[in-house]
Amino acid sequence: MTLHRCQAVGTWCGTLRRPLDPSGQVPGTLPIYFEYYAHTLAGAAAGTLVAAEGGPGYPTTDSREDYLALFGPLRGNYDVVLMDYRGTGRSGAIDCKKLQRVPQLTEEAIGECGRSLGAAAPLYSTSLAADDLAALLEALGIERIGLYGDSYGTYFAQVFALRHPERMRSLVLDGAYPLSGPDYAWYPHIAPAMRRKFDVACERTPACNAIAGTSMKHLAPALAQLRAHPFAAHVRYGAGRNLDFTADASALAILMFGGYPAYATVRELDAAARAFADGDRAPLLRLMAETFAAVESRDATADPVKFSAGLAAAIWCTDPPHIFDMHLPPQERVAARDRIIAERKVKAPDTYAPFTIDEYRRMPLDYAYIDQCVRWPAAAPGSSPLTFEGVSYPTVPLLVISGELDDQTSVASGAAAAQRFPRSRHIIIANGFHVNALPRARSECGAALVRQFMTELKVGDVSCASTLPPVPLVPRFARHLHELAPATAVAGNEADKEVLRAVSAVLLTAADVIVRAAENGPGAGIGLRGGTFAAVRQGGGYRITLKDVRWTEDLTASGRIDWPGRTGVVRAELKVHSPGGSGELALSWTEGAAGARATVRGTLEGSKVAAEAAAP
């Protein structure tokens, strides 16, 4: 094995040749690519930290910035190793050409991918990838590691800990799910977690909680309309992209189950669904379009090195249990699938409530789960899913972190994973989403807990886990200013209620733009009902320039917003035009603070404005 200097200072890169098939029945080898980041202080390293990427299908080294940011304060004393799983990135990425490029995943394209892999299809399993890491550690002379995994990386990390417990010093699972469990193949935790996510967010926002019923009740009229009258939608979103799709119950299901964009979906769905039921389709259709774009894992260039759809299929169709027997030939498996689902509709029709089982199944296959492997080639006799039932889990110190509002890897899933390990600690980040220790999380809390645990093998003060404020839900979407509640006048205000309604609209316009910039990153964007904006990086956040952005139909905002990131003070200077006149307003509020209030000063429609409102 030969290492060479990478572009980054202090980084070595290399490949370790590994047999494709350890048994030797299938010939060939794979290059297992890795990056080694040496500790920066003098003296021997205190240990080695390893990150396991989510997905599956993504190469770990493409997320190096996130992992190095997480480990950053520890890198003086700790080495870091990042390895691309076999079949991803520069570790022989699988390229199933049709599956990589079809407009949407299909059962047939997934089955064709499996057939093209032939006898190699089961040789990209998590178990063999875990063995690759063990071989790499042996080659590098590394005895034990602190292993961090996020999302699918938590699955990989558990498999590694079970197969190679002697290599483990500590284990962190961020956004975890267990290797097996009751009713596992139906993914029973996700629907209850999804319903709770929206209900809890509504309960914690006064304007939403004041509306009778739960958030699920608020959403019911929109769901009923989409069921009764599905329609062809043409939506402009993002930087001005267009998307055509069928707006139906399944489009709402992927929006609610997919959880992307996470913050915008929770913040806006309740109000968007109520607006849809009242005839204003724009907010909900925009969220649907954003979700369809966000849940597409495949790279826009169809480059399997950036994301391998073939590897993702190989993992899902080899490792976890399914509702049908993977040893059956595909045609028999299809018949078994249909029979099993028909029985489920009778025995447990509310498995994915408020959606029917059929509505759930019409989501993209890699989110509906249960159908995607029905045409994959039959498993070899004697092979079995990675259930690890009846095995003893190692005594490695384990920290599991779950986001309270995560339905992909729910709190219940995290608890089930933690319960398998004798020395585990499960911490729930209040109001947190999926994966809470990497830079895009809502707070620094998860990262701080991970760093302490990986160095000290324990967590001390965990109070930060309960301090993340609730998501401030949009109170309502409005086409016109008169539909909004006025901002609250404070000392020095001369504006009447109609002007203060415009102030409310300006605050919601600014927040809407900030949410899009935060989700989409630097670049151009469009307003909900017109206008444009552009975001450029500034410190930990963005400077956002608006041009005639419309959140309502009768008010435009132009100017500048300085958004500091997840904490700090938001400041905006905006020129406003409405039917009653024009003016200039200065906005400010503290981001990421519970109970924060926004202040607004300036002139509008010839009146001096001094007002405040709940931070949007």
Cis check: omega of the bond before 221, within 30 degrees of 0: no
Which two structure tokens, joined as six digits, stand for 555?
């008010």
DSSP SS3 for 559: strand
pTM of the model: 0.95
- 61-88 pLDDT tens trace: 999 999 999 999 999 999 999 999 999 9
Cα–Cα distance measured from residue 311 to residue 372, given in angstroms and rounded to the nearest whole number: 13
Task: Tell me 595's DSSP state.
Answer: T
Tell me what the mean pLDDT of segment 569-593 comes to. 95
Strand residues in 137-271 grouped as ranges (E): 145-150, 168-174, 231-237, 241-247
- 319-367 pLDDT tens trace: 999 999 999 999 999 999 999 999 999 999 999 999 999 999 999 998 9
Which two structure tokens, joined as six digits, stand for 146?
């602190």
Which two structure tokens, joined as six digits, stand for 482?
């008169």
- 561-578 pLDDT tens trace: 999 998 999 999 999 999
Cα–Cα distance measured from residue 207 to residue 270, given in angstroms and rounded to the nearest whole number: 11
**Could you give the C-alpha distances from 466 to 52, 104, 140, 428, 431, in angstroms and in order?**
27, 40, 40, 8, 8
**Could you give the C-alpha distances from 504 to 487, 493, 616, in angstroms and in order?**
5, 15, 9
Number of H helices, E strands in the chain: 18, 20
- 421-454 pLDDT tens trace: 999 999 999 999 999 999 989 999 999 999 999 9
The helix, strand and coil proportions of the chain, stated in percent and rounded to the nearest 5, come to: 40, 25, 40
Q: What is the pLDDT of residue 269?
A: 98
Cβ 333 vs Cβ 374: under 8 Å: yes
Which two structure tokens, joined as six digits, stand for 296?
């597409």
C-alpha 328: how far from its chain's center? Answer: 34
